[in-house]
Amino acid sequence: MDSKKARICVPVCERSIAQTQMAVDRAASVGDFIELRLDCLAPSELDGNLDSIERLLASGGHFVITFRPTEQGGLRELDVSSRVRFWLLNSHSKAEFLDLELDLCTNPALFNWSELPDWKRVICSHHDFVRVPHDLQDIYQQMTATPAHVLKIAVRADDVVDCLPLFSLLERARSEGREMIAIAMGNAGLLTRILGPTRGAFLTYGALDGLHATAPGQVTARELRQTYRLDTLNRETNVTGLVGLPVSHSVSPHMHNAAFATTGFDGVYVPLEVHDLGAFFRRMVNLRTRELDWNLRGLSITSPYKRAVMSYLDSIEPVAAEIGAVNTVLIDSGGLRGFNFDADALAHSLAERLGELRALSCAVIGTGGMAHAAVYALTKQEAKVTVYARDVVKARALAKKFDSAWARLESADFGNFDVVINGTPLGTTGPLQEVTPATAAQLDGARLAYDLVYNPCETRFIREAEAAGCQTLGGLSMLIYQACAQFLLWTGREPPVVAMQAAALDALRME
């Protein structure tokens, strides 16, 4: 196996030997290692079928076998004696690695350490599906006291800053000459799965497909290799990403990574799930205070941080300052600079559909960063704008800022408007997907309903508008326009628009 290639391990967790064999055949085409989760097998399938498992292991490929108790993420209630008995029976397995939990590895009374197991084949692992434990360094220290060849720690991340202790462990292991796997589980931990190999991680984990993830936040092996181009990444790779909450629905990683691949630019774009914006900028972004040595080049900013992010920047370009919202950050020798490309992208995509925007009657629903950009763009085009929101104070403030009208959303009638824009996150894939800011009855008579939400392609707002007989426009074209502007800013290269659009459409079709 190429030592320079990023290794991806695909877990297989099936109830029967037959299903396991079929899954192994599929996993071999997308992964470098295959983890056989033998605790997933039904007891009747495992007992008495060790010969079948060994024949499978002898069929070729690099295998890791595990037998996890429930407290370590397994599917069985297993006491220590049954686990020890299992490993004694399987100590001479043809698997390349045996994954034993820390409590077994640190208790020499359980095995004859001079004979069992073969420590050169042992991965000593510890899992915490609840948190990042405060004593992570102590856990690592316990692991280093064992003769295990590879140390593995997997913990739950609730914020992208929770990845920092894992990267710290990888650096420590590298400096001490130990092989290490460090994974932050959950959507907030995706960064460790993508950048871990560039920090010396022995391997990373990717699911067989979207239905077979064995840990929270485990994306597919194919996505790691094709979308994030794991084999091309290194410590000097330019890192860009999407900051927001949530971010897992976004197709921006597909667009930007396709653009990097098409142009040959050494870059990667990753989702960054952030709960504490201040901690993220202090500990991971600010050049003077960040704790991670990475070549962070730029950030896309999405809901709910387009306005809040401004207080963490060194400078803000005039358009973004006038709008009062930032959707793009450039990180260079000039510090952290904020831009807003939403307004131009919105005006461009709307003009493609309607032509001249001057004097159009437009309703903008919402008062967040996207709504600010919409009102700014439309007033610059001399359209007549009315802001609608449930929060009267915010609606009045936004309208006053751009010399527009405002009204309460609850009693809104949009029948006399040329354009009605959903500038809120309502309708986005996830918990808000079936929520709409306006009904068909309210939209009846409007000419065009424009939803800035792009995922899903057909939102509840769009369906309500179609029921009212309105023309409709989704947010994908705007997303592509602003992504192209970001790519040009971060790389200095012309964006490959066709490749970016194709990647976005492919990603949406896979949803």
Clarify whether residues 63 and 188 are in a common domain: yes
How far is it, in rounded angstroms, from Cα 348 to Cα 350? 6
Assess if residue 503 is contained within a domain: no
Structural domain ending residue among the three candidates 235, 250, 282? 235
Clarify whether residues 226 and 310 are in a common domain: no
Unique residue bearing structure tokens 């990403």 = 241
How far is it, in rounded angstroms, from Cα 130 to Cα 162? 12
Q: Residue 216's closest CA among 196, 187, 244?
A: 187
- Residue 318 contacts residue 298 (beta carbons within 8 Å): no
Clarify whether residues 231 and 379 are in a common domain: no
Assess if residue 59 is contained within a domain: yes
Write down the pLDDT at residue 7.
96
Q: Residue 180's closest CA among 139, 221, 230, 238?
A: 139
Assess if residue 508 is contained within a domain: no
Clarify whether residues 179 and 321 are in a common domain: no
Assess if residue 511 is contained within a domain: no
Q: CATH number of the domain at 401, please.
A: 3.40.50.720
Assess if residue 112 is contained within a domain: yes
Q: Tell me, yes or no, if 4 is annotated catalytic.
A: no
Clarify whether residues 93 and 109 are in a common domain: yes
Domain housing 327: 241-340+485-495
Assess if residue 501 is contained within a domain: no
Clarify whether residues 245 and 325 are in a common domain: yes
Residue spans of alpha helices (H) in 16-156: 17-27, 43-46, 50-57, 80-90, 102-105, 136-144
Clarify whether residues 399 and 316 are in a common domain: no
Write down the pLDDT at residue 110.
79
Clarify whether residues 323 and 217 are in a common domain: no
Assess if residue 128 is contained within a domain: yes
Q: CATH number of the domain at 140, please.
A: 3.20.20.70
Write down the pLDDT at residue 384.
97
Clarify whether residues 38 and 141 are in a common domain: yes
Clarify whether residues 174 and 206 are in a common domain: yes
Indicate which residue of 5, 120, 306, 380 is catalytic. Answer: 306
Structural domain ending residue among the three candidates 197, 220, 235? 235
Clarify whether residues 312 and 383 are in a common domain: no
Write down the pLDDT at residue 60.
82
Query: What residues pair up with 224 in beta bridges, in sequence order?
Result: none
Write down the pLDDT at residue 188.
97
Structural domain ending residue among the three candidates 192, 218, 235? 235
Write down the pLDDT at residue 2.
53
Q: Quote the number of domains for the chain.
A: 3
Write down the pLDDT at residue 88.
86
Write down the pLDDT at residue 125.
97
From the CA atom positions of the chain, what is the Rg in Å?
26
Q: CATH number of the domain at 278, please.
A: 3.40.50.10860
Assess if residue 505 is contained within a domain: no
pLDDT along the chain (511 residues), means of 10: 78 94 94 96 86 87 95 91 89 91 88 76 96 96 94 98 98 97 97 97 94 83 96 97 94 97 98 98 97 97 95 97 96 95 96 95 96 97 97 96 96 96 94 95 97 94 98 96 98 97 91 64
3-state secondary structure of 62: strand
Q: What is the biggest distance separating any 2 CA atoms in the chain, rounded to whole angstroms?
A: 85
- For residue 15, CA distances in Å to 34, 77, 215, 392, 483 come to 16, 15, 17, 56, 44
Clarify whether residues 45 and 168 are in a common domain: yes
